Amino acid sequence: MARVHNFCAGPAALPLEVLEQAQQEMLDWQGAGLSVMEMSHRSPEIVKIFEEAEQDLRDLMAIPDDYAVLFLQGGASTQFSAIPLNLLGDKGAADYVNTGQWSKKAIKEAKRYADVNVVASSEDDNFASIPAFDSWNLNADAAYLHYTPNETIGGVEFFWEPETQGVPLVADMSSTILSRPVDVSKFGVIYAGAQKNIGPAGLTLVIVRKDLLGNAADATPTMLDWKTIADNDSMYNTPPTYAVYLAGLVFKWLKKQGGLDAMEQINRRKAEKLYGYIDASDFYANPVEIASRSLMNVPFTLANADLDKAFLKGADEIGLLNLKGHRSVGGMRASIYNAVPEQAIDDLIAYMQKFAAENA
Ligand SMILES: *Cc1c(COP(=O)(O)O)cnc(C)c1O
């Protein structure tokens, strides 16, 4: 067996230990005589798997008791609609920050339901920075403020939280969740597709302050009303049982690494190495302002875009996979989530050095 280094933005690398445990338990989960995939979601085994996954996540993120943890389907993209449907109430207006492609998608969907006020945008700067907070045009009467703490495509990350003066803060943490500690109590809602830092595709996580439940618009589909899901312990209908099981294994793996403080140290070291090399080289470049460079997604360009194909081909040949940048921006992107080992960064830098030397 030869495992490659997977730099995919999502679905992304999973910890090898997690995959090995899943493999070992595939046919017979802990003596139950069947696979987790084959179990009724009403069975005591699945209930235990869900409860443990939730508790481990609560431990990792220090989620306060007045927050509900929901395991859903439909991806972060479905939450782009669920957010206004659940939170607008009688307000009608919501604030959004536009820092990249995922912000734009969230804004586009919210406009179907809400009077959307884009409080700040870095689009004129090609999404290479975050607008200074004192320039934001916040509405004190907005139903909520939505932002994207890590723009997966542009590689732009917030290392601070907006101050909202009581307006619930809503964060699409799809590509940054669990990469470092966050103070959950600052947020009204945190949501994330699982396929970056949580587990396999097919699972979506919502962490919502309980007082925000129960205000969904009348026309809200039952499955999109967070209260329905909260009242039924994420089992109103058949939940993505195997994905929650794998996420639970990832949470236990994260605890074993030392939790999110330890992950932050590792992630900072990995990112600093890669940015450090890119900045020192005159062959590669990263366009993002230094204070807002993502720890998880590192876009970079080559001095000559005509070499992109050769770069990717050579990388593939030595097992450095999925380095092609998003189709909307081009160039390269290395996604270096929790499960991407430090060795992958070292191997990537060694390859980049060699390629630059041969093509400069
Ligand atoms: C990947 C991603 C999404 C889309 O997630 P889906 O689960 O595919 O809907 C949304 N926002 C961010 C920040 C992402 O990284």
User: 37-94, pLDDT tens digit by residue?
Assistant: 999 999 999 999 999 999 999 999 999 999 999 999 999 999 999 999 999 999 999 9
Confidence of residue 328 (pLDDT cuts 50, 70, 90): confident
Question: If you average pLDDT over residues 102-114, what whole number do you get?
Answer: 98
Rounded to the nearest whole angstrom, what is the distance from the C-alpha of residue 206 to the centroid of ligand 1?
13
> What pTM did the predictor assign?
0.98
Q: CATH 3.40.640.10: which residues of the chain?
A: 18-256
- pLDDT above 90: residue 1: no
Rounded to the nearest whole angstrom, what is the distance from the C-alpha of residue 135 to the centroid of ligand 1?
27
CA 153 to chain CA centroid, nearest Å: 11
Backbone angles phi, psi at 178, to 5 degrees: 70, 5
Residue of 96, 101, 152 to test ligand 1 pocket, by largest number of atoms within 8 Å of CB: 152
Report whether residue 175 contacts ligand 1, using a CB cutoff of 6 Å.
yes
Read off the pLDDT of residues 247-279 as tens digits, 9 standing for 90 and up.
Answer: 999 999 999 999 999 999 999 999 999 999 999
- Helix H segments across the chain? 16-24, 44-61, 75-87, 101-110, 226-231, 241-257, 259-280, 308-317, 342-359
Rounded to the nearest whole angstrom, what is the distance from the C-alpha of residue 55 to the centroid of ligand 1?
24
- pLDDT above 80: residue 169: yes
Atom of ligand 1 nearest to the CA of 79: 9
Q: CATH 3.90.1150.10: which residues of the chain?
A: 258-359
Q: Which residues are catalytic?
A: 102, 172, 196
Q: In the CATH hierarchy, which fold is given to the domain comprising 258-359?
A: Aspartate Aminotransferase, domain 1 (3.90.1150)
Residue of 8, 99, 102 to test ligand 1 pocket, by largest number of atoms within 8 Å of CB: 102
Q: In the CATH hierarchy, which fold is given to the domain comprising 18-256?
A: Aspartate Aminotransferase; domain 2 (3.40.640)
Confidence at residue 360, expressed as pLDDT on a 0 to 100 scale: 84
Rounded to the nearest whole angstrom, what is the distance from the C-alpha of residue 80 to the centroid of ligand 1?
10
Report whether residue 297 contacts ligand 1, using a CB cutoff of 6 Å.
no
* CA distance readout (Å), 141 to 72, 97, 117, 144, 158: 29, 16, 11, 8, 24
Report whether residue 158 contacts ligand 1, using a CB cutoff of 6 Å.
no
Tokens of 1: 């067996």
